[in-house]
Amino acid sequence: MLLDGVLTERSKRALAWFAMVGLSLAVVACVYAYQFPGTAFNNMIVVDGFATFFRVLVIAVGILTVLCSESYLRGERAGPGQYYALLLYSIVGQCIMASANELIMVFIGLEISSIASYILAGYLRDDRRNNESALKYFLLGSFATAFLLYGIAWIYGVTGFTNLTEIRRTLMTPETAPSISLIGVAAALMFVGFAFKVSAAPFQIWAPDVYQGAPAPVSAFMSAGPKAAAFAVFMRVFLTAFNPIANRWQPFVWGSAILTMVIGNFAALTQTNIKRLLAYSSIAHAGYVMVAIAADSEIGTAAAMFYLAAYALMQVGAFAVVTYFVRQGERYTSVEDLAGLGYKQPTVAAMLTIFLLSLIGVPLTGGFFGKFYIFKAALDSNLIWLTVIGLLNSAVAAYYYLRIIVVMYMHEPGEASATAPPVSPALSLAMWGAAVGTFVLGIFPSALLDFADRSANLVK
Amino acid sequence: MTILDITLFLPLLGFLALLLVPKDRPDASRTMALAVSLLTFVSSLGLIGPYWFRSPQGFQFEQNLSWIAYPPIRYHVGLDGLSLWLVLLTTLLTPICVLVSWKYIEKRVKEYYAWLILLEFGLVGVFLALDMFLFYVFWEISLVPMYFLIGVWGHERRIYAAIKFFLYTFAGSVLMLGAIIYLYNRTGSFDYSGVVAMITSGRLALTWTEQILLFLAFFIAFAIKVPLFPLHTWLPDAHVEAPTAGSVMLASVMLKMGAYGLIRFCVPMFPAASRACSDWIIPLAITGIIYGALVAMVQPNMKKLVAYSSVSHLGFVVLGIFSFTQQGLDGAVYQMLNHGVSTGALFILVGYMYERRHTLEIAGYGGVATPAPWLSSVFLMTTLASIGLPMLNNFVGEYLVLQGAAIANFTWAVFAAIGVILSAVYMLWLYQRLFFGRASEEVSRHMWDLSGREWAAMLPLLVLMVWMGSYTQSFIPPISAQNARILDLSKAGVDFRVDTRTARSAEVARVR
């Protein structure tokens, strides 16, 4: 309905700028639709601030990805047609997820998004790593989706509803509420499914292999878009439908948040492949968002929303630089290959430095403000130890991000950076966009924060 | 727009302007950096006025604008007797550092000066911020330029030192961030004065556990920066590996950020906890004084020697602060400035010698007095200032700290005084090994005397050593006035929540 911009474009074999136009129209459509909040299609789809926020976010990630992909695909001599079609298809799925008000829609959106991503992860057919990545992603991903589906079936069985509002009402009323153990099983099954999709521990194992193997722009996309959308449904389902049993699932989210942060950060310490390192860092960042969810409050939801926006910008930005750097056949993927980039390509290196500082959480960047807001929410909900562990984790994280900066500025230029080609205009547009966005969120966060705050009110 | 805003934002503008200078014109970068830093210094001179000596009340040049609407984060800056001289120290040392680096830095000149000027922005901001969030922002901003200064332009083990420096400080400061957020959640405000007022008036009643934990969160961040023994291990690495200007800024200004934070935040906001914890903080400070001095004594590397002497000197500062006496606090603040001047000068001189002879090993020198008499005289004067010779600056600070400590607890003063003696031992011995004896041929060939530029960098510091040592009335009154207020705050809090075991230490001490 509101995604007509995307859908029509998909049917043609869209080229890069065609996709861009489609996505831009989709943003306009989303914002326009926001004027008329409410539900549609038999209460299956909801348009509210929360949905609009995430739809604009995943579309923005899509735009950045398209900008990154253009020169990459040319370098790999891969056909752009199916690529952009799949990308847009995946974005459609995520938009549906973001606005789903009904478990069936959640599932449909998730499947659309995931299946397109499975194919994208293996888009370069002749590349062994691509194939491995796609296969792993597909096998583990469908397993997790099965869990989710089983959870949905279970909840339908015990409550008779798949609509989130109805489920919530059923659970709220003591007469109709089924026994907590039955609901608990359903919630646990769905938790597994979502935790897999957002790469939260202990279901994060797939992420490093998949991100490392997939084409760099696809990794950029996967680590931001589907993740944001999955968090959106995660929050919508758990904070709406399962809100009445919040005190039951909260400890699990709490534990998963700690595990995710610790595993992500400590595993990233020893990585030498930059894509793998960023994959672990993306796991760690999922952990911070889990902290916000564990807070189980409106401020927590708003914090998670803001953080995902800031995270999307810095993560896609960092992957954009990786996309630029790996060159044909993904030859240069080790951290050491970045040696001396600071002097051969000062602008690109400065960009990557900005994204990394933001990932560390240095003030004046979006990453800092996001983290600040998350920990504020957690302290508000009296999660003191979770906050302390999270804060210490972000100090650990500083180490591996700094190592990349060290290599760029403090090592003598190596072969890879000496032969670095000039940056293509589209890619440089993506980097500048992400960098400016990172600073805007860090220095003038008010506008987005206000919107997140207001939207978080509507979520229930 | 006050002169304070100009002083704060000139360096930021300078940083942006430096980024636009073409890469292949290093001299343009140097001149630009010098011009910006001198301009900033001149504008900061405008902060000095007669009102500082007329018992000033509250903050001067206050500016309070909204930055982020919600959560209410404000651009709230202001100056009091505590921050006044620290800001001036920063703005004075930056042009000196530009001069010192003139020939020393030959590669990537533009980037170097850009980071140096950005560092000045962060440091001045730390001392001016009156909004806790803003304070944290500046605190972290100052970290990044220093990380690059050490990591790119340092000596052999620079990368290790840079990362260690960053991680230590960052790990400490995230806990402080947690504490700031916690206070915000309790009070709904990041405003420093507002929160302090709430605490002293008892409107914000923190439980004993809360107070201790919050105190520790702030304290650890500051203690790492000071650095207090045993959290000092990043310091020798960072100082030794940094380029000269980096060591100067690090020793003279960045360490003061920690001590400043202790006085500004820890003592007035958590008075009872401060007093309770002083039971173990003071022994640590005294250990630091003696340990730093002993380790300095056996260093074969002169930069490392000066670095460990900093650990010792900063121990005095912490001792003074936690003696909770007027003299102790005055001495601590004065000692912060003195250390900035004299240790800054020492690092500059060590840098001069390294530029000539390209070694930091003490054994590589000897008999330098013959080929470079002026250099050795200047070094001698700095050495004497550093060991606390009367009429030179450090004497005043150390004396006040010892007096304050003696009022609070005589044993502390006795132990701390050992540090004063040891400092004379290691500094004079260093001087002897560097300058006396017969000059080897190598030394005579390389050790030429001070150039005009080198004089220009040192002269202001030499003048300050004498001035601060002989006419303290130009500097102390604003410091005292502010310290008296902080001491009052720290007592008001204690009286309010009576905890008999903490109030014992320094009530005797209000002799003004």
The reply to whether residue B175 touches residue A450, judged by beta carbons under 8 angstroms, is no
Residue A13 has pLDDT above 70, yes or no: no
Residue B328 has pLDDT above 80, yes or no: yes
Three-state DSSP state, A359: helix
Distance from CA of A251 to the nearest CA of B (A): 21
| pLDDT averaged over every residue in chain B | 85
Scan for tokens 């966060």, then name that residue.
A445
The DSSP line for B241-264 is HS-HHHHHHIIIIIHHHHHHHIII
CB of B121 less than 8 A from some CB of A:
no
Of A357, A379, A446, the CB nearest to B69: A446
| pLDDT at res. B413 | 87
Of A394, A444, A446, the CB nearest to B174: A394
Residue B52 has pLDDT above 80, yes or no: no
Question: Residue B176: its chain A contacts at CB < 8 A?
Answer: none
Q: Which of B23, B137, B189, B216 to mutate to test the interface with A (most CBs of A within 10 A)?
A: B137
Question: Residue A388: its chain B contacts at CB < 8 A?
Answer: 175, 178
| pLDDT at res. A251 | 85
CA A314 to CA A301: how far, in whole Å?
Answer: 20
Q: What is the pLDDT of residues A262-294, one digit of tens each?
A: 888 888 888 888 888 888 989 999 999 999 888
**Minimal-distance CA residue of chain A relative to B157:** A410
Question: Residue A380: its chain B contacts at CB < 8 A?
Answer: 185
CB of B122 less than 8 A from some CB of A:
no
| pLDDT at res. B121 | 92
Percent of chain B with pLDDT over 90: 14
Q: For chain B, how big is the Rg over CA atoms in Å?
A: 22
CB of B178 less than 8 A from some CB of A:
yes
Average the pLDDT over A33-55 and give the result. Answer: 77
Scan for tokens 């020198």, then name that residue.
B365
| pLDDT at res. A459 | 53
Instruction: Evaluate whether B430 touches B305 at the Cβ level (below 8 Å).
Output: yes
If we measure between CA atoms, which residue out of B339, B338, B353, B347 comes closest to residue B304? B347
Q: Give B503's pLDDT tier (boundaries 50, 70, 90).
A: very low
| DSSP secondary structure code for residue B202 in this structure | T
CA A8 to CA B314: how far, in whole Å?
Answer: 69
Provide the CB-side half-sphere exposure for A359 (13 A, CA).
37
| pLDDT averaged over every residue in chain A | 83
Interface pTM, i.e. ipTM: 0.83
Residue B498 has pLDDT above 60, yes or no: no
H helical segments located in A160-245: 164-172, 180-197, 206-213, 216-236
CA A71 to CA A305: how far, in whole Å?
Answer: 31
Which residues 6+ apart lie within 8 Å of B224 measured at CB?
B168, B169, B171, B172, B231, B234, B258
Torsion angle in degrees (nearest 10) through CA of A107, A111, A114, A119: 180
The reply to whether residue B166 touches residue A398, judged by beta carbons under 8 angstroms, is yes
Residues 140 to 159 of B: which have CB under 8 A from any A CB?
140-141, 143-144, 147-148, 151-152, 158-159
Instruction: Evaluate whether B465 touches B382 at the Cβ level (below 8 Å).
Output: yes
**Minimal-distance CA residue of chain B relative to A343:** B108
Residues 54 to 93 of B: which have CB under 8 A from any A CB?
68-71
SS3 for A58-109 is: HHHHHHHHHHHHHHHHHHHCCCHHHHHHHHHHHHHHHHHHHHECEHHHHHHH
Question: Residue A368: its chain B contacts at CB < 8 A?
Answer: 140
**Minimal-distance CA residue of chain A relative to B174:** A391
Average the pLDDT over A245-273 and give the result. Answer: 86
Instruction: Evaluate whether B407 touches B511 at the Cβ level (below 8 Å).
Output: yes
Residues 352 to 381 of B: which have CB under 8 A from any A CB?
none
| DSSP secondary structure code for residue B363 in this structure | G
For residue A38, give the H/E element and its range.
strand A38-40
CB of B216 less than 8 A from some CB of A:
no
Q: Give B371's pLDDT tier (boundaries 50, 70, 90).
A: confident
Quickly count: other Cβ atoms within 10 Å of residue B127's Cβ.
26
The reply to whether residue B159 touches residue A406, judged by beta carbons under 8 angstroms, is yes
More reliable by pLDDT, A179 or A291: A291
Q: What is the pLDDT of residues A79-93, one digit of tens each?
A: 777 788 888 888 888
Three-state DSSP state, B439: coil
Distance from CA of A382 to the nearest CA of B (A): 9
Look at A218-227, B23-32, B47-56 and tell me which has the smallest mean pLDDT. B47-56
Q: For chains A and B, what is the number of CB pairs under 8 angstroms?
A: 77
Look at A31-35, B60-64, B278-282 and tell me which has the smallest mean pLDDT. A31-35
More reliable by pLDDT, B497 or B420: B420
CA B96 to CA B436: how far, in whole Å?
Answer: 28
Q: What is the pLDDT of residues B217-235, one digit of tens each?
A: 999 999 998 888 888 888 8
| pLDDT at res. B260 | 92
The reply to whether residue B171 touches residue A395, judged by beta carbons under 8 angstroms, is yes
If we measure between CA atoms, which residue out of B33, B11, B29, B31 comes closest to residue B21? B29
Average the pLDDT over A305-330 and give the result. Answer: 86
Q: What is the pLDDT of residues B64-87, one digit of tens each?
A: 888 887 788 888 888 888 888 899
| DSSP secondary structure code for residue B207 in this structure | -
Look at A39-43, B233-237, B317-321, B441-445 and tell me which has the smallest mean pLDDT. A39-43
Residue A8 has pLDDT above 50, yes or no: no
H helical segments located in B358-472: 373-387, 393-408, 410-435, 441-446, 452-470
Look at B105-114, B309-318, B488-497 and tell me which has the smallest mean pLDDT. B488-497
The reply to whether residue A409 touches residue B151, judged by beta carbons under 8 angstroms, is yes
- What do you get for the CA distance between the two ends of chain B, in Å? 37
Q: What is the pLDDT of residues B423-476, one digit of tens each?
A: 888 888 888 888 888 777 777 777 788 888 888 888 899 998 888 888 888 888
Instruction: Evaluate whether B158 touches B151 at the Cβ level (below 8 Å).
Output: yes
Question: Residue A362: its chain B contacts at CB < 8 A?
Answer: 140-141, 143-144
Percent of chain A with pLDDT over 90: 4
| pLDDT at res. A1 | 39
**In terms of C-beta density within 10 A (0-12 exposed, 13-18 middle, 19 or more buried), how is residue B51 classed?**
exposed
Percent of chain B with pLDDT over 70: 95
pTM: 0.87
Distance from CA of A141 to the nearest CA of B (A): 36
Distance from CA of B241 to the nearest CA of A (A): 13
**Minimal-distance CA residue of chain A relative to B170:** A395
CA A416 to CA A428: how far, in whole Å?
Answer: 19
| pLDDT at res. B492 | 61
Distance from CA of A395 to the nearest CA of B (A): 5
Residue A327 has pLDDT above 80, yes or no: no
Distance from CA of B171 to the nearest CA of A (A): 5
Residue B509 has pLDDT above 50, yes or no: no
Average the pLDDT over B36-52 and give the result. Answer: 85
The reply to whether residue A446 touches residue B68, judged by beta carbons under 8 angstroms, is yes
Question: Residue B143: its chain A contacts at CB < 8 A?
Answer: 362
Q: Give B493's pLDDT tier (boundaries 50, 70, 90).
A: low
Q: What is the pLDDT of residues A391-437, one digit of tens each?
A: 888 888 888 888 888 888 878 777 777 777 777 888 888 889 889 98
Question: Residue B182: its chain A contacts at CB < 8 A?
Answer: 379, 384
Burial B18-50 (b: 16+ CB within 10 A, else e): beebeeeebeebbebbbebbebbbebbeebeee
Cα–Cα–Cα angle for A131, A132, A138, nearest 5°? 90
| pLDDT at res. B135 | 92
Question: Residue B71: its chain A contacts at CB < 8 A?
Answer: 376
The reply to whether residue A391 touches residue B178, judged by beta carbons under 8 angstroms, is yes
| pLDDT at res. B123 | 92
The reply to whether residue A406 touches residue B177, judged by beta carbons under 8 angstroms, is no
| pLDDT at res. B494 | 57
Average the pLDDT over B489-501 and give the result. Answer: 54
Average the pLDDT over A5-26 and give the result. Answer: 61
Of A388, A395, A410, the CB nearest to B159: A410
More reliable by pLDDT, A383 or B443: A383
